[in-house]
Each structure stands twice: as structure tokens, then as C-alpha cells.
Structure 1
Amino acid sequence: MSYQQQPAHHPSGADQTRTWATLAHLGGILAYFFIGWVPALVIWLVHRERGGQAAEQARVALNFQLTLLVGLVVAKIVENLPAIGVIGWIAIIGIGIISLVLSILAAVAVNKGGSYRYPFSLELVR
């Protein structure tokens, strides 16, 4: 009896790049906890010298998450103000939901082989 060893399936470079780009966007799920920018930053730092889709989409995700981080910090400050604190609380929840929805939409678009641009984002990282 002989056994033929199946060759291990190694994802192609394009598949890996698409996976990293997808993960950069999915990091936005963590925005409510003020750390949604961390996965995009790590992926951008690793891939920026290589260029390509992973670096570009990580940069796009990082810019969006940093924009949301600014909004979250402002909302947190407003939340601690008397009389209008509820506005900050509502803003934090709203920003978290926006980040969740747009990050998932971006991840799906990138995973299908496309690219994604968020409807609003400061260009802090170039």
C-alpha cells in the first residue's frame, strides 16, 4: 500500500496580500474600545516598503481609524461635561456603529479583490 502525500496548499502572494488588506479593515471593529487603529498601523508598517494592495488598504484603514479616534476622544471629553454628557455618550456609540459597519463593508470589498475608500477620512498618513 502506498500513500501519496498531497502537496501542502500555500496561499499565493495575491491571496496573502488580500488577506492582510482585509484584516487591516477588520481592525475597525475594535474602534469602540479606542484601539481600532492598531491592526491597520501594524499591517501598514509591515507592508509599506513592499507596496501593493495590503499597504495601500492598510493606509486607507489607518487614516479612517485615526479620524474616528479623534472623534472618539472629543466625544469622550464631551461625555464628561455636565449637562451635555449624554451627547458624548451617544456620539461614542454612533462612532462605534459607524466604524463597525464601514469596516465590514470595506473588508468584504477588499476580500473580493477590489479596493475601498471610506466616505470620510482625514489624510493623516500618506
Structure 2
Amino acid sequence: MARRYRGLADGPTVTGMTEPPRPPGDSTGGAPPPDPTTPQPPPSGGYAPPPPPPPGGYAPPPPSGAYPPGPGFAPPGYASSDDKTWALIAHFGGALGMFISGGVLGFVAPLIAYLVKGQQSPTARSHPVAALNFQLTWSIISVVGYVLGACGSLVIVGAVFFLVPLAATVLGVVFGIIAGVKANDGQPYRYPMSINMIK
């Protein structure tokens, strides 16, 4: 029994082992493996291998145009997000002005948007101009209705002319909101019943 164990221990050790024989036709011999960062010729199939990763281990950035839109990108229909903001101020601000002032000051917000952004881009000009023409038209009609209602000698005439500012207020609010929703989607809106005083 002791002989059997001694025979196993007397066999070849790890230090005595040699490299396994190479297959025939292998000419690399003891040369080191190729460097992965150096370009390799394409294989016989004609396809080049993918480029190796950069030394830091980070993947290269995607090509331009592959980034998803973010807060710094222009929304659809506008040259910049600033243009969209001022378009919404013109439309929704006009509706709010008509509601608060009883149909008189609906033109204030579109006028401010026109003065601030109207000279910078065609899109930033078109929305405030459309809102300004509509709200200014109905603000003038509302003021005329108030004046004629206050000056009317007959009760019936006065009541009729006080209904004109109410109708102007409703129209200014409703169409201002519709235009604001369209502008939020990047679409221009053509106001009905509007006089083009500003072009």
C-alpha cells in the first residue's frame, strides 16, 4: 500500500510539465498576442471588426441627431422654446386680460409679447400680432359699448349696449384659449372676427 502512494508522488510535477504541443501550421511560436488597440486587417469575409473601446472604458457618444429632445431643444413649430413661451403669453394673456378687465384690456399681454419678441423671429411675431389684432378689435368694441350704454337715454338702449362688452369679453376669453391650445401644439391660429390693424 505504501508503495502505491509512493509511486503517485514520484510522478511528474507541475514544474516538470511542458507546454502542450501546438497544432500543425501554427506559426506564432512564442509571439505575444496582438495588441487590441491597433487596427487589424479585415478578415476574409470583408467585414471589419468593431473598433475597440477607448482607454477609459467609455463607449463613444451617439451621432448627432440621436439624442432625445430635452429642455434646451426647440419645440415643434418654433425656432426656440423662448418663442413658444411668448406665443403662449400672447394668447393666454389676452384671454386673461379680457376676463379680468371686463373686455377692455385684452390687448395688453399680446402687445407686451409683440414688443419683446416681435422683431426677433417671424414665428415670435406672428402669434402676438394675431392675438393683438383680435384682442384690440374686441377691446375697442367693448369700450364703445360701455360708452354708448352709459350715454343711452333709454333703459332698453342702455341694456343692449351693456351686453356688447359682455359678448366681447366672452369672445376674447374663448378664442384666446383656443389659440393658446393651438400655439402649444406648434400650430398657428387664425382668429375669426378680427381686424388686421397691425401687420
Short-chain TM bin:
0.7 to 0.9
Equivalent residues in 2 for 1:100-115 (5 A)? Answer: 100-115=173-188
User: Higher helix fraction: Structure 1 or Structure 2?
Assistant: 1
Distance between the aligned counterparts of 1:49 and 1:100, measured in 2? 26
TM-score by length of 2: 0.56
The secondary structure found in structure 1 opposite 2:80 is: helix
Distance between the aligned counterparts of 1:11 and 1:25, measured in 2? 22
Distance between the aligned counterparts of 2:158 and 2:122, measured in 1? 43
Partner of 1:21: 87
Q: How many residues align structurally?
A: 119
Percent sequence identity is 29
The answer to whether the 8 Å contact 1:31/1:68 transfers is: no
Partner of 2:137: 67
Q: Shift in Å at residue 10 of structure 1?
A: 4.4
Q: Shift in Å at residue 113 of structure 1?
A: 0.7
Distance between the aligned counterparts of 2:121 and 2:158, measured in 1? 43
Q: Which runs of 4+ in 1 moved over 3 A?
A: 9-13
Distance between the aligned counterparts of 1:54 and 1:22, measured in 2? 10
Q: Shift in Å at residue 25 of structure 1?
A: 0.8
The secondary structure found in structure 2 opposite 1:61 is: helix
Higher deviation after alignment, 12-21 or 51-60:
12-21
Residue identity matched to 1:22: L
Distance between the aligned counterparts of 1:49 and 1:27, measured in 2? 19
Q: Shift in Å at residue 14 of structure 1?
A: 2.4
Aligned match for 1:77, one of 143, 147, 153: 147
Greater RCO (Cα-Cα under 8 Å, separation 6 or more) = 1
The gaps in structure 1 that reach 5 residues or longer are 1-8
The secondary structure found in structure 2 opposite 1:58 is: helix
Equivalent residues in 2 for 1:1-126 (5 A)? Answer: 9-10=71-72, 12=74, 14-29=80-95, 30-32=97-99, 33=101, 34-80=104-150, 81-83=152-154, 84-126=157-199
Distance between the aligned counterparts of 1:36 and 1:123, measured in 2? 16
Distance between the aligned counterparts of 2:193 and 2:178, measured in 1? 14
Q: Shift in Å at residue 93 of structure 1?
A: 0.9
Residue identity matched to 1:38: V
The answer to whether the 8 Å contact 2:90/2:109 transfers is: yes
The gaps in structure 2 that reach 5 residues or longer are 1-70
Deviations 1:34-70 (A, max 9, x none): 1111111111011122123221100111111110111
RMSD over aligned Cα atoms: 1.7
